[in-house]
């Protein structure tokens, strides 16, 4: 039976389905955010069987990231790896943060210009570039169904950075190609979540009253285990079968949990940890499947731009049009979000990646002319 590694090698080391998968996941996040941004009720979908499906997009994104970034870490040394990560993530992130704070904010704020530019929230908003999450800008989007939130998608940035740093640390100690550090980190998260559950039970408190049960731990377990399992699948790619039956079994979990479970599971870190292995396998299986390539994008990867820019665009459309229906907001946003993502790719992301490649080539040439002791 063909392995994941064999499947990957058959396509020259590039999964043919990852391009479309990333775009679909990013688009799913856009549609999902249309619900709360038009109604102010983030739990609107919770009463349907779709409550579970809409919460899978971001975890699956992290599986893709874990699989592909770990692959990159196996091909390069630590410094090029870090340059690659900075070049891929930071330019577009800095751009969306700067445009929000310096262009969008002054245009739509309810405050006078002087009051806006001198407000500490403006400077604090730039902390998003380094993972210090800040949602509001002074006087911006104050009367919308989801008020004071300029870009609700930025909560994942700090966890993406944490995953990159963790993988870089494994590279530093030459453990990135071993399977057990990924498994150990996953098991440690499971132990931490179990300890949190035991603490809640012992204290008799509800899940929302303990920081270990809500907040950062719950958020972390929605993404970090998926990066870890994605990386583990790459490390063990030659030992794990690429089997449609395993993918089907994982896929069947989605409707079953959607019908039999309820949205209270979303607050349980152990639920997200238990879901990580099957969902990660399904995600990688889809990424290696012969999915059609989004040729209309001209070979660009617009998924990151769609994810980064869509939230402020949605909020702006709600402000300007007063739209009350999620499906209408999704239709109104489709073209602007795609255009902005295309502009981000061609004007910011792609040039940054090309610049990074030039540095990498220069570094490789310099290394070729250096003795091992100077590297």
Instruction: With a cut of 80, say whether residue 142 has pLDDT above it.
Output: yes
Q: How confident is the model at residue 48 (pLDDT cuts 50, 70, 90)?
A: low
Q: What pLDDT score does 209 carry?
A: 44
Q: What pLDDT score does 369 carry?
A: 46
Q: What pLDDT score does 40 carry?
A: 86
Q: What is the pLDDT of residues 83-96, one digit of tens each?
A: 999 999 999 999 99
Encoded tokens for 21: 């998968």
Integer Cα distance of 27 and 14 in angstroms: 22
Q: What pLDDT score does 44 carry?
A: 67
Integer Cα distance of 61 and 73 in angstroms: 18
**Rg (the chain; Cα; Å):** 21
Are 74 and 176 in contact, with CB atoms under 8 Å apart? yes
Q: What pLDDT score does 360 carry?
A: 58
- Tell me 292's DSSP state: P
Calculate mean pLDDT across residues 277-297. Answer: 90
Q: What pLDDT score does 373 carry?
A: 32
- Those residues with Cβ within 8 angstroms of residue 216's Cβ, 6 or more apart along the chain or in another chain: none
Q: What is the pLDDT of residues 230-272, one digit of tens each?
A: 999 999 999 999 999 999 999 998 888 877 777 788 888 888 9
Are 4 and 284 in contact, with CB atoms under 8 Å apart? yes
Task: Return the half-sphere exposure (C-beta side, CA atoms, 13 A cut-off) of residue 3.
Answer: 11
Integer Cα distance of 58 and 26 in angstroms: 8
Instruction: With a cut of 90, say whether residue 26 has pLDDT above it.
Output: yes
Higher pLDDT, 339 or 197: 339
Mean pLDDT over the full length of the chain: 89
Q: What pLDDT score does 199 carry?
A: 79
Q: What pLDDT score does 214 carry?
A: 52
Name which of 37-46, 165-174, 316-325, 335-344 the model is least confident about.
Answer: 37-46
- Length of the chain measured in residues: 375
Are 122 and 105 in contact, with CB atoms under 8 Å apart? yes
Q: Please, is 106 exposed, middle or buried when counting C-beta atoms within 10 Å of its C-beta (0-12, 13-18, 19+)?
A: middle
Integer Cα distance of 102 and 108 in angstroms: 11
Are 345 and 88 in contact, with CB atoms under 8 Å apart? no
Q: What pLDDT score does 204 carry?
A: 61
Q: In 3-state terms, what secondary structure has residue 365?
A: helix
Q: Which residues of 198-212 are buried (b: 16+ CB within 10 A; e: fewer)?
A: eebeeeeeebeeeeb
- Those residues with Cβ within 8 angstroms of residue 321's Cβ, 6 or more apart along the chain or in another chain: 332
Q: Please, is 319 exposed, middle or buried when counting C-beta atoms within 10 Å of its C-beta (0-12, 13-18, 19+)?
A: middle
Q: Which residue is listed with tokens 């879901």?
A: 275
Q: Which residue is listed with tokens 């009463």?
A: 47
Are 193 and 270 in contact, with CB atoms under 8 Å apart? yes
For the ranges 189-198, 206-215, 220-229, 268-277, the one whose mean pLDDT is highest: 220-229
Integer Cα distance of 86 and 101 in angstroms: 21
Name which of 59-73, 158-172, 266-280, 326-340 the model is least confident about.
Answer: 266-280
* Closest by Cα among 85, 190, 104 to 151: 104
Integer Cα distance of 231 and 177 in angstroms: 10
**CA geometry: angle at 173 spanning 169 and 179, to 5°?**
85
Name which of 61-65, 268-272, 339-343 the model is least confident about.
Answer: 268-272
């Amino acid at each position: 039976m063909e392995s994941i590694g064999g499947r990957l090698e058959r396509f020259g080391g590039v999964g043919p389905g990852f391009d479309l998968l990333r775009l679909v996941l990013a688009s799913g996040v856009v549609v999902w955010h249309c619900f709360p941004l038009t109604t102010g009720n983030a739990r609107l979908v919770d009463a349907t069987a779709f409550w579970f499906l809409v919460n899978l997009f971001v975890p699956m994104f992290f599986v893709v990231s874990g699989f592909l970034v770990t692959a990159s870490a196996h091909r390069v040394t630590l410094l090029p790896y870090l340059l690659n990560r900075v070049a891929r993530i930071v330019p577009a992130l800095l751009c969306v943060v700067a445009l929000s704070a310096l262009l969008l904010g002054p245009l739509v704020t309810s405050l006078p210009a002087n009051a806006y530019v001198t407000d500490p929230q403006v400077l604090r908003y730039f902390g998003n570039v380094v993972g210090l999450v800040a949602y509001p800008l002074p006087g911006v989007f104050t009367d919308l169904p989801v008020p004071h939130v300029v870009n609700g998608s930025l909560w994942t940035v700090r966890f993406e950075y944490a995953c990159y740093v963790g993988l870089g640390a494994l590279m530093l100690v030459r453990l990135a190609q071993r399977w057990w550090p990924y498994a150990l980190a996953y098991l440690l998260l499971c132990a931490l979540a179990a300890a949190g559950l035991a603490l809640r039970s012992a204290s008799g408190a509800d899940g929302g009253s303990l920081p270990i049960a809500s907040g950062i731990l719950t958020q972390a377990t929605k993404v970090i285990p998926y990066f870890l399992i994605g990386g583990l699948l790459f490390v063990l790619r030659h030992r794990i079968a690429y089997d449609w039956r395993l993918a089907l079994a994982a896929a069947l979990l989605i409707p079953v949990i959607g019908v039999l479970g309820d949205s209270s599971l979303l607050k349980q870190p152990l639920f997200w940890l238990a879901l990580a292995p099957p969902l990660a396998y399904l995600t990688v299986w889809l990424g290696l499947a012969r999915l059609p390539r989004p040729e209309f994008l001209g070979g660009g990867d617009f998924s990151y731009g769609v994810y980064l820019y869509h939230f402020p665009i949605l909020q702006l459309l709600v402000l300007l049009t007063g739209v009350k229906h999620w499906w209408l907001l999704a239709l109104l946003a489709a073209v602007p979000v795609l255009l902005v993502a295309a502009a981000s790719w061609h004007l910011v992301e792609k040039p940054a990646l090309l610049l990074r490649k030039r540095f990498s080539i220069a570094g490789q040439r310099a290394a070729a002319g250096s003795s091992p002791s100077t590297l």
